[in-house]
Amino acid sequence: MRALIQRVTQASVEVDGRVTGQIDRGLLILICAMQGDTTAQADKLAAKVSKLRIFKDDEGRMNRSLLDIGGQALIVSQFTLAADTRRGNRPGFSSAAAPADGDALYQYFTKAVADLGIPTANGIFGADMAVSLVNDGPVTIWIDTEDQT
């Protein structure tokens, strides 16, 4: 699975002009299931995201996790994280999981994050979404579970 994580002071997602999810302080997590990804990878990614120490402590150092600060997570599916740009100027997305598998892993990942005690909000899988955020820092981190093995 691939995730682009942004530390935010607030974030929201709209579908057809209707807010489907919003958070205050926490993480905006753009997530993409890749072909062959499993629930075990989703569990590892959820644990990693929840414990990633990217929030400031009392001395201003990045030393606290989402769990430590009682933050929230806005989780948005984004198959374009599977973009292959090695050839030509038009990205290919064939390495992304099939839609049914991607949706199942997206839902599973969201539940895994929530089961860790983190309040979650979501976009809608496969929808055309408008995401708004206030990036805090800015702090933006890329995680690929393939790189974690």
Active-site residue identified among 6, 41, 72, 78: 78
Dihedral over alpha carbons 53, 13, 90, 143 (to 10 degrees): 10
Catalytic annotation present for 80: yes
Active-site residue identified among 35, 38, 80, 148: 80
Active-site residue identified among 55, 72, 79, 125: 79
DSSP 33: P
Q: Do 137 and 7 contact (CB within 8 A), yes or no?
A: yes
Catalytic annotation present for 22: no
Alpha-carbon span 54 to 137, nearest angstrom: 10
Report the length, in residues, of the chain. Answer: 149
Catalytic annotation present for 78: yes
Using the Cα atoms of residue 5, residue 122, residue 22 and residue 64 in order, give the sign of their dihedral: negative
Alpha-carbon span 114 to 119, nearest angstrom: 6
Pairing of strands 55-56, 62-64: antiparallel
Q: Report, as residue numbers or ranges, the catalytic residues.
A: 78-80
